[in-house]
Amino acid sequence: MKILLTSTSFYDTPGAHKELLYSKNFEIDYLPGPLRDKMLIPIIANYDGIICGDDEINEGVIETGRRGNLKVISKYGVGLDKIDLKAAKKYNIPVTNCIGVNQVSVAEHTFALILAFYKNICLENQLTKNGKWERLIGHDLNGKRMGIVGLGRIGKEIAFRAKSFGLILFAFDTVIDDDFVALNNIRICSSIDELIKSSDIISLNLPLTSETQNIISLDRIKKIFNTGSLLVNTARAGLVDLEAVLYGLDNKILAGYLTDVLEEEPMKRDHPFTKYENVIITPHIGSRTYENVERQGIMAVNNLVNYLKLSVR
């Protein structure tokens, strides 16, 4: 069987996940993603399965694959917003993902960004390397109010870590784990607006759907956010309106914006965020650790293999 691999994290990182994949005697082609649909449509029919990252797998890709050999789409990762799930169902192509593997890595990355910002790590590192001994004044996390938008697996891991820093916790979600909330002294807000008003730090930990698209809107930035709020996004770029964030930064409503995700990746050289010292950007690496790549990779391979076995019975 022939397999297409597009995940750069999977391919670039040594470990048991690669050994497992190559032990299956597949014919494997690697194309570094994320790939656009125009790159996938001419080739996808040649493959029995794909282990994908954040590639553009729309109806055109899925229909073309279905007319050829495609039997399964195995997402390396959790988020499925780049895959047309309705089309996959329509053409009877199973889609799998790696639920429950990356929450620790992403939560740790969230706090790496927050600490880097409040302790001026990026600025101080650059200043010191440039020969300056400029001792900027930072901020403590202890006593600050943190709002977690989305109290799923990642949100819960963030809450665990937030407690150790002495943060006062607020959360909003449509489904609440009452036992977890009570155990960790989290104050549940009835709306995102209430959470924003209550928080110094807002962490976005939601999947991207039609309901969550641009939940951080210009109207919310103007009317709801407290002056000096810190916005952290390690989920999906589409949760925020870019123009709203720029307005918030320009008008000092936002103290900073910390993000691991952008609306177009890789980032364009002329992206407006490059002009702001109070914006910290990492290139979608929240789950990119040796440990987590191996965990996700093994799950992605096993998901692929299990569905391919079903398809030949």
Positive/negative CA dihedral, 186, 165, 105, 208: positive
Q: Is 27 a catalytic residue?
A: no
Q: Are residues 95 and 126 in the same domain?
A: no
Indicate the number of domains in the chain.
2
Among 109, 284, 288, 295, the one annotated catalytic: 284
Residue 313 has pLDDT above 50, yes or no: no
Tokens encoding 217: 């809107």
Mean residue pLDDT of the chain comes to 97
Domain range enclosing 119: 103-281
Q: Is 263 a catalytic residue?
A: no
Q: Are residues 87 and 119 in the same domain?
A: no
Q: Are residues 209 and 81 in the same domain?
A: no
Among 19, 243, 265, 277, the one annotated catalytic: 265
Among 17, 109, 153, 236, the one annotated catalytic: 236
Residue 310 has what pLDDT?
73
Q: Are residues 60 and 122 in the same domain?
A: no
| pLDDT tens per residue, range 154-185 | 999 999 999 999 999 999 999 999 999 999 99
Question: What is the rounded distance in angstroms from the CA atom of residue 283 to the CA atom of residue 261?
Answer: 7
Q: Which residues contact 32 (CB under 8 A, 6 or more apart)?
A: 6, 8, 11
- Alpha-carbon distances of 243 from 35, 52, 220, 261, rounded to whole Å: 26, 30, 12, 15
Average pLDDT over residues 75-90: 96
**E strands present in the chain:** 2-5, 27-30, 49-52, 72-75, 95-96, 145-149, 168-172, 187-188, 201-204, 229-233, 254-259, 279-281
Q: What is the 3-state secondary structure (H, E, C) of 126-183?
A: HHHHCCCCCCCCCCCCCCCEEEEECCCHHHHHHHHHHHHCCCEEEEECCCCCHHHHHH
Q: Are residues 58 and 172 in the same domain?
A: no
Q: Are residues 268 and 176 in the same domain?
A: yes
Residue 311 has what pLDDT?
65
Please state, as a whole number, how many other Cβ atoms lie within 10 Å of the Cβ of residue 115.
Answer: 13
Question: What is the rounded distance in angstroms from the CA atom of residue 176 to the CA atom of residue 251?
Answer: 34
Question: What is the rounded distance in angstroms from the CA atom of residue 310 to the CA atom of residue 268?
Answer: 42
- Here the CATH number for the domain that contains residue 90 is 3.40.50.720
Q: Are 166 and 143 in contact (CB under 8 A)?
A: yes
| pLDDT tens per residue, range 31-48 | 999 999 999 999 999 999
Q: Are residues 111 and 256 in the same domain?
A: yes
Residue 183 has what pLDDT?
96
Q: Are residues 110 and 249 in the same domain?
A: yes
Q: Are residues 63 and 118 in the same domain?
A: no
Question: What is the rounded distance in angstroms from the CA atom of residue 74 to the CA atom of residue 307?
Answer: 9
Q: Are residues 71 and 161 in the same domain?
A: no
Residue type, 196: I
Residue 15 has what pLDDT?
97
Residue 22 has what pLDDT?
96
Q: Are residues 93 and 139 in the same domain?
A: no
Query: How distant is the alpha carbon of residue 13 from its chain centre?
Result: 19
Q: Are residues 28 and 140 in the same domain?
A: no
Name the percent of the chain lying above pLDDT 90.
98
Residue 261 has what pLDDT?
97
Question: What is the rounded distance in angstroms from the CA atom of residue 108 to the CA atom of residue 160?
Answer: 11
- Alpha-carbon distances of 105 from 55, 153, 201, 258, rounded to whole Å: 22, 11, 20, 16
Q: Is 236 a catalytic residue?
A: yes
Q: Confidence band (pLDDT; 50, 70, 90) for 309? A: confident
What letter would DSSP give residue 34?
P
